[in-house]
Structure 1
Amino acid sequence: MRRAIFVVSLVVTCLTGPAAQAQAPAQFDPDDFGKIVIQPRQSAGGGGGSGFVLEQAFGDYQNEPIIEYGENSPAVRLGRPIGRLDTLYANGQTGFCTAFIVDDKHIVTNHHCIPGMDGDPSGADSGIQAAQFVAGYIQPGRSAGVDKYSVSPQIVETNRGLDYTVLRVFGNPSEKYGIMELAAADPEDAEFLWIIGHPQGQSQHISREGCAAASPAISEEGKLIHSCDTLQGNSGSPVIRISDKRVIGLHHAGDNRTGFNMAIPMTRILAQSKVLHSALPVAGAVVAAAPAPAPQLKAPETAAPRLAALPETSACDALWSEAKQLGCGGYEAYLSQCASHTFSVMAKVMAKRECAAAAAPLVDPATLAQPIPVPGTPGAIRVAQDGSGDFTDLAQAVAGAKPGARIEVFPGTYTTGLDISQPVEIVGVGNRADIRLEVANDNIISWQADKGLIKGLTLRQTGGDYFGIDVLAGSVVIEDNDISSQGLSGVVLRSNVGAVVRRNEIHGGKEGGIFVFDNGKGEILENVLYGNTYAGIELRDGGEALIKDNTIRDGQGQGIFVNTGGKGQIEDNVIHGNRLVGISLDGSKNPVIKGNVIRDGLEGGILAAGHALARIEGNTLYGNAYSAIEIRTEADPWIKGNTIRDGKQSGIFVLDNGRGMIENNDIYRNAFSGIAVQAKGAPIVRGNRITRNGQFGVEILEGGGGGYENNDLTGNDRAAFFIDKAAGTLSRRGNKE
């Protein structure tokens, strides 16, 4: 040990105004961007005379290359989810910070590593031209075995005061490198810590000698004060508690006037961050010797956020676990008996949030006229077939309801279709499977009211050319229902102002699951759609929707069909096992298709045809029977930053006058060629990594053309290029073959 662990009484004042704003990430020459090994150098910037600096060492610098502990050491295994964040700024400089993986699509770093955010808090303009996450860089001066993952320049979540930023990373690095487990409690005074990061952009280093929390550990300003050696480039490093290997804080700054470094306690960040709270993992995710296994995909309704497992068991531990399940009342009960327990600070924050949510309407006030009372509240209309309510017939209750009424439906089978033209709430009370609306030769519900709610029901359209729920006007929230139609589509949105279709199970329909057309609008969120005869979701004729976080599987048609005139955003869905293509675009009006997993389809992943425009970015496509992406008949999509792998034909197939900009994708291990072009197909293919495919990197057949520049085409089984004698006009330059 080079010094005793310090125990001091410490008060640190966080600078505000111009001095604090002078913080900036380490900036280097732009030629460094994209490289793994860079030359150490002094970075620009600094804290000036304020004393507030980004990083500092104490005495003899003791931040060691982590590889000195051996490739199989606990320290190296623990550091696997920690990587270097490389950024190319709008001013042409390159910056290096540290970041770490928290789930399959997000990494965390400091806010000050993304300087443009202060100019545009929306995240639309982060000041970054490009960014990448470098994982596995543990050998000084050696790039072998290192992986690079694309990072979106647009910010997911940020907070300047807490100096954290959440970024979207593509390619799921957690599948190989695991995730960091976040702590839900502050460190103890003088507790031993580790910091792992990439000082000055170099290989991974660990600070452990003399690395500990101060006493008190948390300053009056809410900062975690520590004595761990860091340098510029360590910004964004996790501060790790040795006892359980959890992230206890986010390192971000130092003060050379007091001689201590500072981090933001993870408890403060968790209290503000929706993303990180939802990403809190099961215990033990980062301590295994082997890389973390691929995550199992689950239906959205089963993937509830969980707090990290607790380090010990006791009565208060049990109460804490129960509180997480029970919400508001559970947190209040925990605090009444365990006010001094480890998680009491977090519980106060959660109680405030959960109790506020419990008191609020279940849907947005803009959508419903009044809050929803709990079952049995005076004023609610009760419908029960056993005679214990106000009505035995649901249709009669709807016809007699005043605007804004709540209609509580108790178990039974109701067989008359409902026409709703004024705002009401129809809410099932009891087991959803026992509250059944079974209607033949009519729509189950025809909706034309301005606002309202349909919740907690089993809806069965049993025959005839009718819909399950037909939203003809206004707006409605449709959530937590089980919906099937043996007539037309299960849910239809048309000519309406807007609707929310959320957490429903929509399945086994004779036609499609959800159909949005005739300028209908809506948000389709967290549903499970399966076994429908036609598309799980179809947009057409001005239909527009946000389609997010759904699972769409095992249908006989397309997963999602964006037909002529359809538009919207398709984001973070899991689409698999469908008989036709995962997403079909035919004459679509430039939808955004982002962050989806499209896998194991019986045809292809994405088909763009009929002059379709689209932005296809950051998706993962694998295991599909046909090409992951097919472009034909003058479609012209922008395909960027996707992972296209392990397909049973070519990765991307362009034909019949197809166009497209194909850039910065990872295309590998496909059975045929990485990209195949023929029949007047002419894409622009730039900056892709097209490797390890079963035939060629790029295969250009009769009539094919296009431009191919700066691609990595190494390692394909047969050759980088195959160009048929009858190929059309094409250009090549700067490719690595």
Structure 2
Amino acid sequence: MRRPLFNLSMLSVLTCFAAASLAQAPAEFDPEDFGNIVIQPRQAAGTPGGFTLEQAFGDYQNEPIIEYGETSPAVRLGRPIGRLDTLYANGQTGFCTAFIVDDKHIVTNHHCIPGMDGDPTGADSNVQAAQFVAGYIKPGRSEGATRFTVSPQIVETNRALDYTVLRVFGNPSAKFGRMELAAADPEDAEFLWIIGHPQGQSQHISREGCAAAAPAISQEGKLVHSCDTLGGNSGSPVIRISDKRVIGLHHAGDNRTGYNMAIPMTRILAQSRVLKAAAGTVPVPAAPPAKPVAPVAPTPKVAVLPEAEACNTLWTEAKQLGCGGFEAYLAQCERHTFALMAKAMMKRQCTDTAAAPAAPAAKPVAVPVAPSQASGAIRVAADGSGDYRTLARAISAAKDGATIEIMPGRYNEGLDITRPVELVGVGNRADIILEVEGDNVIAWEADKGVIRNLTIRQLGGKYFGVDIKAGSATIEGNDISSKGLSAVVLRTNVDAMVRGNEIHDSAEGGVFIFDDGKGTVRDNVFYGNTFAGLELRDRGEALVTGNTFRDGAGQGLYVNEGGRGTISDNIIYGNRLVGISLNGSDNPVIKGNVVRDGGEGGILVDGKALARIEGNTIYGNTYAGIEVRGGADPWIKGNTIRDGKQGGLFFQGGARGVVENNDIFRNAYSGVVVQDGAAPIFRGNRISRSGYYAIEVLEGGAGTYENNDLTGNPDGAFLIDGKAGRLSRRGNKE
């Protein structure tokens, strides 16, 4: 169904609210909505209803992509495109569009991360947290959408070209694919698509009347186009429909000329190391030979006619009237910006009027899912409108593999699940509440099943929110808290998936995995828990990836006696104790995490723990970036340890370990302190810009120090105490 047409007076009024500058700030949402998929944009100051129109042309044609059908080429093409949500340290919020380019990077506009302007390296991006929402295609419905954590550090950025490359955790390309980048500019008047998230809502596509101008590239090097966009479309890919490749990065409307603009991908590829690698291209010249930067005869920016405004009006009318409108437009405006596009549209639509349909064929519409009873699902509604009022009765009546749909309401019964079923909330999870005092909310022993889209509250007593004590389950997209014990427990189970949940404000920990418990903990947000956001102990083993652990009263993660697994690509910040604590751990891999701004240290290795700590970024912590003690023996390789409020690394208490190829800089005290029987091996590290020395070896400290770069420290390379033990130094650059 087509939308009501904008008349010219309405369009002129809306255009008055377009931003005066090319680079617009991200649209805003309520900070309490951060972490959600379906959000309500807040009103923008000075803009009626929060509606910021970048630029529309006549009949607004930025449509929900789902209207084309879930299996349509447009929906398939748009899978790597998602919404970028940002929560800033100053309390502001924002969302833009971004898209996947490889297994760990997304691209958006520079102006979507406004706080980073003070530090283009990204060290101080002002981003408190960020997420990438992929697969959000159904208006007001979150099913099928997945959240991925985004690092607050900037990989690449360029203000002039208005692009930024960000690190995304969890490899969204494995599920959603990636966009192909074009190494050539579009042709004049070439047909285009723009897919994005206007106003932060579900994915929309601009395709009707969406094309490059003529010339396509302005004298300023911008791609000029006629595709309709709104605030929130910033960072959307401009897609050439001939080969479905990205030929530009949309970034703004220009209310001086009335057209929308993008940065040509050729210009970005010429500057971006990451995108060159993703595109598999050789360096692209800033100005292709076919389009010289300085033509012999100057080309008008928009139109050569003095009646430019009249041609703008005729173009708007032509799009609404069709063939006759295009003829009238071309008769007076054959050198106007969109004349070549009008000719192409006439050729496509008006060449054989007898054979051509009077109107475009109707778009395929997604067929609604059949009622739940038709698919065998059991519906539970507390108000009596479903098959059952209580979950316990529904579960008792269900067959193995049944889906139990839970309608909005409050359910106050502890559930014991011993057969494989799917518990699925229907609607907004905030309205579907399972809350129990004096019992587990869900105790699970089935060999498989699903717990999805629910609010789960344990209200007190020595019980858990969700206790997976045998079998396996997928716990996905829930809001889970507990005033009793931990929110989620995995023990003696085969394997479980804990994915995309909000796990918070528990009286003990967030997720506790012990007694041979096994699982994958992916893309969750943990905050406000009294103890660790996640604890592994007693042969508990997990892949923990793509999560955010923030603002806990204890550690971010705690790998205790016998805990093991892989902790990778998480963001850990603002916890009262250390970001990651390893105490007697069984050689876990700690890789690719961002550990910052902890109330104590970044990573603590204690209790004869073994661990591999590789490729992490650790900064801004109150104590040492990494502390090793208690006879622990980790391998610490390739990390960045910087800007600590005390030292970079601290070895004591008989600690050992190999420390190699790390970059340790700008820490307030010395880069490294070794004392009290510790004897690590330091090899090939760069330690610079420390507050005092590069390395201090104090009473009882020892070790081997070879081939390190120790230059650039104000007090020198080494301070060796008279009571230090035996140490070896060779090949260092001092």
CA shift for structure 1 position 699: 0.7
Cα shift readout 1:200-241 (whole Å, capped 9, x = no counterpart)? xxxxxxxxxxxxxxxxxx9x99999xxxxxxxxxxxxxxxxx
Matched-pair contact (CA < 8 Å) for 1:103–1:174: no
Q: Which residue of 484, 505, 523 corresponds with 2:502?
A: 505
Q: Which residue of 185, 188, 194 corresponds with 2:186?
A: 188
**Are 2:387 and 1:390 aligned?**
yes
Cα shift readout 1:549-601 (whole Å, capped 9, x = no counterpart)? 11111111111000111111111111111111110001111111111111111
> In the aligned structure 2, how far is the partner of 1:528 from the partner of 1:692?
34
Q: Which residue of 717, 723, 731 corresponds with 2:728?
A: 731
How many residues were matched structurally? 447
Cα shift readout 1:691-711 (whole Å, capped 9, x = no counterpart)? 001011001100111111111
Q: Which residue of 247, 259, 280 corresponds with 2:265?
A: 247
The 10-residue stretch of structure 1 (175-184 or 639-648) with the greater mean CA deviation from structure 2:
175-184
**Are 2:156 and 1:174 aligned?**
yes
What SS does the corresponding residue of 1:397 show, helix, strand or coil?
helix
Cα shift readout 1:38-58 (whole Å, capped 9, x = no counterpart)? xxxxxxxxxxxxxxxxxxxxx
Q: What's 2:667 paired with? A: 670
Cα shift readout 1:301-353 (whole Å, capped 9, x = no counterpart)? xxxxxxxxxxx99999xxxxxxxxxxxxxxxxxxxx9xx99xxxxxxxxx99x
What SS does the corresponding residue of 1:433 show, helix, strand or coil?
helix
Matched-pair contact (CA < 8 Å) for 1:497–1:521: yes
What SS does the corresponding residue of 2:395 show, helix, strand or coil?
helix
Alignment of 1:34-49 (within 5 A): none
Cα shift readout 1:239-290 (whole Å, capped 9, x = no counterpart)? xxxx9544359999xxxxxxxxxxxxx99988x9xxxxxxxxxxxxxxxxxx
Counterparts in 2 of 1:666 and 1:412: CA distance versus 1, 3 Å: same
Query: Structure 1: which amino acid aligns with 2:632?
Result: A
- Consecutive unaligned residues of structure 2, counting only runs of 5 or more, are 1-99, 108-119, 123-149, 167-178, 191-239, 247-260, 281-314, 320-344, 350-362
Counterparts in 2 of 1:442 and 1:732: CA distance versus 1, 3 Å: same
Q: Which residue of 425, 428, 434 corresponds with 2:425?
A: 428
Alignment of 1:304-323 (within 5 A): none
> In the aligned structure 2, how far is the partner of 1:706 from the partner of 1:175?
41
> In the aligned structure 2, how far is the partner of 1:474 from the partner of 1:314?
64
Q: Which residue of 566, 570, 581 corresponds with 1:569?
A: 566
Cα shift readout 1:156-191 (whole Å, capped 9, x = no counterpart)? xxxxxxxxxxxx999854269964698766743599
Query: Structure 1: which amino acid aligns with 2:672?
Result: I
Matched-pair contact (CA < 8 Å) for 1:104–1:175: no
> In the aligned structure 2, how far is the partner of 1:221 from the partner of 1:697?
54
> In the aligned structure 2, how far is the partner of 1:458 from the partner of 1:678?
49
Query: Structure 1: which amino acid aligns with 2:410?
Result: T
Q: What's 1:458 paired with? A: 455
Q: What's 1:484 paired with? A: 481
Q: What's 1:279 paired with? A: none
Counterparts in 2 of 1:725 and 1:450: CA distance versus 1, 3 Å: same
Cα shift readout 1:652-679 (whole Å, capped 9, x = no counterpart)? 0000111111111111111101011000
Matched-pair contact (CA < 8 Å) for 1:105–1:170: no
Query: Structure 2: which amino acid aligns with 1:580?
Result: L
Counterparts in 2 of 1:377 and 1:484: CA distance versus 1, 3 Å: farther
Query: Structure 1: which amino acid aligns with 2:706?
Result: E
> In the aligned structure 1, how far is the partner of 2:714 from the partner of 2:101?
35
Q: Which residue of 630, 634, 642 corresponds with 1:633?
A: 630
Q: What's 2:654 paired with? A: 657
What SS does the corresponding residue of 2:430 show, helix, strand or coil?
helix
TM (norm. structure 2) is: 0.55
CA shift for structure 1 position 494: 0.5
CA shift for structure 1 position 378: 3.6
Q: What's 1:616 paired with? A: 613
What SS does the corresponding residue of 1:719 show, helix, strand or coil?
coil
Cα shift readout 1:111-132 (whole Å, capped 9, x = no counterpart)? xxxxxxxxxxxxxxxxxxxxxx
Counterparts in 2 of 1:107 and 1:484: CA distance versus 1, 3 Å: closer
Counterparts in 2 of 1:387 and 1:714: CA distance versus 1, 3 Å: same
Counterparts in 2 of 1:385 and 1:171: CA distance versus 1, 3 Å: closer
Query: Structure 2: which amino acid aligns with 1:174?
Result: E
Query: Structure 1: which amino acid aligns with 2:186?
Result: E
Q: What's 1:687 paired with? A: 684
- Consecutive unaligned residues of structure 1, counting only runs of 5 or more, are 1-100, 109-144, 148-167, 193-217, 225-242, 253-265, 273-311, 317-336, 342-350, 360-371
Matched-pair contact (CA < 8 Å) for 1:597–1:620: yes
Matched-pair contact (CA < 8 Å) for 2:151–2:594: no
> In the aligned structure 2, how far is the partner of 1:395 from the partner of 1:579?
40
Matched-pair contact (CA < 8 Å) for 1:104–1:172: no
Alignment of 1:321-360 (within 5 A): none
Matched-pair contact (CA < 8 Å) for 1:696–1:718: yes
> In the aligned structure 1, how far is the partner of 2:698 from the partner of 2:597?
27
Cα shift readout 1:420-467 (whole Å, capped 9, x = no counterpart)? 011100011122111111111111001111110001111111111111
Counterparts in 2 of 1:611 and 1:397: CA distance versus 1, 3 Å: same
Over the aligned positions, Cα root-mean-square deviation in angstroms equals 4.5
Matched-pair contact (CA < 8 Å) for 2:180–2:245: no
Query: Structure 1: which amino acid aligns with 2:265?
Result: V
Q: What's 1:646 paired with? A: 643
What SS does the corresponding residue of 2:718 show, helix, strand or coil?
strand
> In the aligned structure 2, how far is the partner of 1:405 from the partner of 1:652?
54
> In the aligned structure 2, how far is the partner of 1:314 from the partner of 1:647?
62
